[in-house]
Amino acid sequence: MAPFEALYGRRCRSPTGWFEVGEVALTGLKLVHEAIEKVQLIREWLRTAQSRQKSYADVRRRDLEINVHDWVYLKILPMMGILRFVKKGKLSPRFEGPYQILRRVGKDTYELDLPRTGAPLDHPPPRG
């Protein structure tokens, strides 16, 4: 007895066995062509949906321009284990600051004028 049959009480139906017992088996080239047509149709639907979702997202998108000496807020990552705040969970603060930008370090990296008090803010790079 196969594991599927033991679990569900019936035999497993593979793509070549979708028909019921006693019906003519739809196998061979016709089945392959039908499957290919359905896959192409589904891929086209996915492309259309993705294009529509991208156009909705691009309506409000803009490039972020930050200059030296601008004031910015530092996002607090809840998974970082920053426990300087009393509240946890939904009521914990999402941002800290404002802080002034001292210099540009990289393309999207800036050095901020952080206060010398408190625990050091050491953000590891995001996981990829």
Same domain, 11 and 52: yes
Q: Do the domain assignments include residue 11?
A: yes
Annotate 59-100 with DSSP letters as a single string.
TS-------TT-EEEEEPPGGGT---SS--GGGS-SEEEEEE
Q: Do the domain assignments include residue 29?
A: yes
**Structural domain of 25:** 3-57
Report pTM. Answer: 0.44
Number of domains within the chain: 2
Paired with 119 in beta bridges are none
Same domain, 51 and 7: yes
Q: Do the domain assignments include residue 127?
A: no
Question: How many alpha carbons fall within 13 Å on the CB side of residue 9?
Answer: 0
**What is the C-alpha to C-alpha distance for residues 29 and 53, in angstroms, rounded to an integer?**
36
Q: Do the domain assignments include residue 125?
A: no
pLDDT tens, the chain, 128 aa long: 778 888 888 777 766 555 555 445 555 677 778 888 999 999 999 999 999 999 999 998 888 888 999 999 988 776 655 555 556 667 777 888 899 999 998 888 889 998 876 555 555 555 54
Same domain, 33 and 11: yes
Q: Do the domain assignments include residue 62?
A: no
